[in-house]
């Protein structure tokens, strides 16, 4: 039996760090406060009894500490506690561009291209891929993005019944109707806070529109390290926590529903003037976010990693950045990773990159499986005698155990140079593109007629009522 490889989860924050970050967070909310934008949040602050001066609201320690004690952790993501040892990769719908494997160009997602990409992902489910709709079509009105994504998912992939992650106010009622019709009702709404330290009515629009149809609200932000915070990591984490916690207190008062909160400090390199995920700093901040959130929730940090790259096309940069985060996460026990097929953070979806990502994942999967180092001295002597008399290649044990030990890649070439030359110099990217074309020939999904009828009916009603 193999002895799997598992490394202790790395810790980037000491307990002293966590306690001082918490103290700084309380002082920030008490002395710097949150900027309020709009009558809803301003009135909520008054009802809560917060001190308000101009546009800023200030929080007393007991209120913040009571709120932390009252609010539990958010619902666990699907598969987070799954004991399945397989590493699964999933894709979300954020990309607005797609990599054309025939021309190597990056082009806007249209509904037609989105359908083709969704069909491809459907064929990849046997490869531990959780792929639904990988982008937003740019040829439909923005307020309808989530609904057209959901319609495409329902009609072109087996996993399409799960609703999209982000809604617009205009699309929300129609997406919820479709989710209920497909047996996957939406039970929560998300509120994203503007960093730094600002909460406004506009952030609550979706939560307010849905509060009579959902049971909970999640509050979070994507704080830019060194952009909307100081460059010191502890200081930045204190601000990220303050804006999420303080906003959650106000949001709960506005919407009248149970609220969970989460902090997220993201890398922001001033030389690039953008978030830069996929680098070593990004992974370190993932660990820091995870440890601080777990500390507030009085639990052990989850095993985490990341699977992002800033590369614009498949190649060396994408492979190196994705392998780094995936390997470190898998070695500590993480088994679910987002970012499948993503390039340029989450701007570009690439079917070719999906296949390369699966190759990288399979490499890591074999590594963490470990090996079986058992040895039966008597049997070993018998095998040694048989092997030197003939060859070890011909032994029954070699034939029986070879495939269990050696992973054979689909894309990477394992042979020597001469064999590679004779094979026509195969290259991983060319093989990946060929694999995509082969997979598309295997697409065979057809939704139930009732699903098609309901999806098309809700889509037509939304276009009529929203666009006129």
Q: Is residue 394 part of a domain?
A: no
CA 281 to chain centre: 17
**Helix 39-48, helix 233-255: angle, nearest 10:** 90
Residue-range definition of the domain harbouring residue 61: 1-374+407-468
Q: Is residue 304 one of the residues assigned to a domain? A: yes
Q: Is residue 398 part of a domain?
A: no
Considering the domain boundaries, does residue 401 fall inside one? no
CA distance 81 to 79: 6
User: Structurally, how many domains does the chain consist of?
Assistant: 1
**Tens digit of pLDDT at every position of the chain (468 positions):** 788 888 888 899 999 999 999 999 999 999 999 999 999 999 999 999 999 999 999 999 999 999 999 886 555 554 444 456 899 999 988 999 999 999 999 999 999 999 999 999 999 999 999 888 999 999 999 999 999 999 999 999 999 999 988 889 999 999 999 999 999 999 999 999 989 999 999 999 999 999 999 999 999 999 999 999 999 999 999 999 999 999 999 999 999 999 999 999 999 998 888 888 999 999 999 999 999 999 999 999 999 989 999 999 999 999 999 999 999 999 999 999 999 999 999 999 999 999 999 999 999 999 999 999 999 999 999 989 998 888 888 888 888 888 889 999 999 999 999 999 999 999 999 999 999 999 999 999 999 999 999 999 999 999 999 988
CATH label of the domain that carries residue 219: 3.20.20.480
Other beta carbons less than 10 A from residue 75's beta carbon: 12
Q: Is the pTM of this model over 0.75?
A: yes
Euclidean distance between the first and the last CA atom of the chain, given in angstroms as a whole number: 65
Structure tokens at 396: 């029954």
What are the distances in angstroms from CA 436 to CA 63, 120, 122? 55, 7, 12
Q: What is the pLDDT of residue 181?
A: 96
- 3-state secondary structure at position 468: coil
- Asked if residue 389 is part of any domain, the answer here is no
Region of 416 please: left (phi>0), alpha (psi -120 to 50) or beta.
beta
The Cα–Cα gap between 354 and 101 comes to 12
Residue 382 lies in a domain: no
- Residue 88's pLDDT is 94
Domain assignment of residue 269, yes or no: yes
Query: Is 333 inside a domain boundary?
Result: yes
Model pLDDT, residue 187: 93
CA dist., res. 460 & res. 12, Å (int): 51
Q: How far apart are CA 13 and CA 364, in angstroms?
A: 27
User: Exposed/middle/buried for 465, CB within 10 Å: 0-12, 13-18, 19+?
Assistant: exposed
């Amino acid at each position: 039996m193999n002895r799997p490889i598992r490394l202790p989860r790395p810790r980037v924050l000491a307990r002293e760090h966590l306690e001082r970050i918490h103290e700084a967070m309380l002082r920030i909310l008490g002395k710097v406060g949150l900027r309020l934008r709009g009558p809803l949040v301003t009135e909520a602050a008054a009802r809560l009894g917060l001190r308000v001066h101009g546009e800023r609201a200030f929080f007393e320690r007991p209120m913040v500490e009571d709120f932390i004690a009252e609010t539990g952790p958010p619902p666990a993501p699907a598969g987070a506690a799954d004991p399945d040892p397989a590493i699964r990769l999933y894709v979300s719908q954020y990309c607005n561009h797609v990599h054309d494997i025939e021309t190597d160009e990056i082009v806007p997602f249209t509904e037609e291209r989105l359908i083709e990409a969704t069909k491809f992902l459907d064929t990849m489910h046997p490869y531990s891929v959780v792929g639904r709709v990988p982008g937003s079509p740019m040829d439909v009105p923005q307020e309808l993005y989530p609904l057209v994504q959901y319609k495409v998912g329902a009609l072109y992939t087996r996993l399409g019944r799960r609703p999209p992650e982000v809604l617009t106010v205009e699309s929300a009622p129609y997406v919820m109707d479709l989710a209920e019709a497909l047996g996957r009702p939406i039970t929560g709404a998300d509120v994203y806070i503007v960093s730094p330290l600002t909460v406004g009515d506009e952030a609550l629009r979706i939560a307010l529109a849905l509060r009579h149809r959902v049971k909970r609200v999640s509050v979070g932000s994507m704080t830019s390290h060194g952009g909307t915070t100081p460059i010191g990591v502890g200081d930045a984490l204190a601000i990220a926590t303050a804006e999420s916690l303080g906003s959650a207190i106000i949001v709960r008062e506005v919407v009248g529903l149970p609220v969970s909160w989460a902090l997220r400090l993201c890398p922001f390199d001033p030389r690039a003037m953008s978030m830069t995920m996929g680098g070593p700093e990004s992974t370190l901040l993932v660990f820091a976010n995870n440890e601080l959130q777990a500390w507030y929730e009085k639990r052990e940090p989850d095993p985490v990693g990341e699977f992002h790259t800033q590369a614009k096309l498949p190649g060396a940069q994408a492979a190196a950045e994705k392998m780094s985060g995936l390997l470190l996460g898998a070695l500590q026990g993480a088994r679910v990773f987002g970012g499948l097929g993503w390039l340029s953070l989450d701007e570009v979806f690439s079917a070719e990159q999906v296949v390369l990502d699966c190759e990288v994942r399979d490499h890591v999967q074999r590594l963490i499986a470990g090996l079986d180092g058992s040895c039966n001295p008597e049997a070993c002597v018998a095998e040694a005698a048989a092997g030197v008399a003939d060859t070890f290649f011909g032994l029954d044990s070699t034939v029986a155990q070879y495939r269990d030990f050696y992973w054979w890649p689909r894309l990477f070439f394992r042979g020597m140079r001469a064999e590679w030359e004779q094979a026509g110099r195969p290259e991983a990217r060319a093989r990946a593109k060929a694999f995509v074309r082969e997979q598309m020939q295997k697409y065979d999904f057809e939704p139930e007629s009732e699903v098609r009828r309901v999806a098309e009916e809700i889509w037509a009603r939304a276009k009529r009522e929203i666009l006129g």
